[in-house]
Chains A and B, each alone.
Chain A
Amino acid sequence: MDTDREAVGVSTPVDAEQAWRDLQRIRVPQERVYDEVERSASGSPRTTRTTAAIMWVFLVSMGLDLPKWGVWLALAVYLVALGTLARAHHRRSRVRLHHSRCDWRMLAGFVAGAVVTCATIVLSGRLVEPLEPMTGALIQATVSAAVFVLFTGPVSRWSTGALRGRNGRKTSEGAGR
C-alpha cells in the first residue's frame, strides 16, 4: 500500500482513515528518536564513571597542598578533561533531540545534579575538616564521586522518561479528538 502511495505520489487522495494512519505513522520514527535519547541518557555508564573519576582526581588534587598556580592548573586540566569527554560523547551520539522537545524536567535534572554534587562536595568538605588534609580529600572525593554516580543515572532516566508520553500525546492529540 505504501509502495502504491509512493508511486501515485502527489495526486494521492487522502481520506480520514488514511490521514489517521499517517498520524499514527508519524509516531513510529519519533519513538525511535526517544528510544535513542533514553538509551543515550541511561545507557552510558562508562561516560558517567569517567566523569566521576576525573572529578575524584580533581578533588584529591585539591587535598594536596598546592600553590595558587597549581590550583589553577588543576582546575584548567579538570575543565579540559571534561570538555574532551563531552566532545567524545557528542561524536558518538547518533542523534540530538530538537530543543522544542526538551522540557523543564531536563533543565531541572541538570540543575538538581549540579546542586546535589556541589552540596555534597561542600558538606563532605566541612565534615572532613578535622581530619588530615589528604585523608579528608580522599574521603570527600570518594563520597562526592559516589553521589554523582548514584544520582546521575536515575535523574537522567527521570528527565528523559516523560519524552515519549508528552510528545506522543502532542502528535496524536488531533487524531484522538
Chain B
Amino acid sequence: MSTPSGFDELIHPATRLSVVALLAATEWADFAFVRDSLSLSDSALSKQLHTLEEAGYLELRKEGAGRKRRTKVRLTDRGRAAFDGHVAALRAIVEGAGPPAAAGRSAPHHSTEAAR
C-alpha cells in the first residue's frame, strides 16, 4: 500500500503531530500553554517549533519585555493546509484498511511501503 497523497513526513513524528494538532485548533497559542499541554521541556518544544518554522508551517512572535515577555505561536496557512492534508491521508489509510478499529481493539494491519 502506498502512502496517500497529503501525508506529510515533517508533521508525522509524534511530537510534531501533537504540536501542529494543538495549534490547528487555535488562532495562536502561548509558548507556555503548548509546552504545558504537551508536557514538553522548553528546549524540546523550541527545537520542534524551529523545525516547523523553517518549513514555513508556523510563525513565532515575541511580545512584551522583561518578565512579561511571551512568545505566541501561530500556524500559518501552509501549516494548516499541511495538517489537513496529513489528517486526510491518515483517514485514507484507516479507511483503506476496511472495518473500523475501535479503541481497545487493534486496527487491521496493512503492509505499507517502507521508504527506508
Contact = CB atoms under 8 A, between A and B. Distances in A.
Q: Do A and B bind each other?
A: yes
Given A5-B13, A23-B94, A29-B37, A13 B113 contact: yes
B14 A97 contact: no
B95 A177 contact: yes
A76 to B, nearest CB: 28
Interface of B: 3, 7, 9-10, 12-15, 17-19, 21-22, 24-30, 32-33, 37-38, 87-88, 90-97, 100-101, 103, 106-116
Given A13-B114, A95-B30, A177-B100, A23 B14 contact: no
Contacts of A20: 94, 101, 107
Contacts of A175: 90-91, 94, 100-101
Nearest to B13: A6
Interface of A: 2, 5-6, 9-17, 19-30, 32-34, 36, 93-99, 101, 167, 171, 173-177
Contacts of A34: 25
A96 B103 contact: no
Contacts of B14: 2, 5-6, 22, 25
Contact of B115 (A5, A10, A17, A173): A10
Which of the listed residues B3, B15, B22 has the most CB atoms from chain A within 10 Å of its own CB? B22
A165 to B, nearest CB: 14
Q: Is the interface of B mostly helix, strand, loop or mixed?
A: mixed
Contact of B110 (A6, A15, A94, A97): A15
A19 B116 CA distance: 18
Contacts of A96: 26-29
A36 B18 CA distance: 16
Contact of A19 (B37, B94, B103): B94
A23 B19 CA distance: 14
Contacts of B101: 16-17, 20, 175
B17 A22 contact: yes
Given A6-B13, A95-B33, A176-B100, A30 B107 contact: no
B69 to A, nearest CB: 12
Given A17-B107, A94-B30, A98-B26, A174 B17 contact: no
Contacts of B106: 17
Given A30-B25, A101-B25, A94 B33 contact: yes
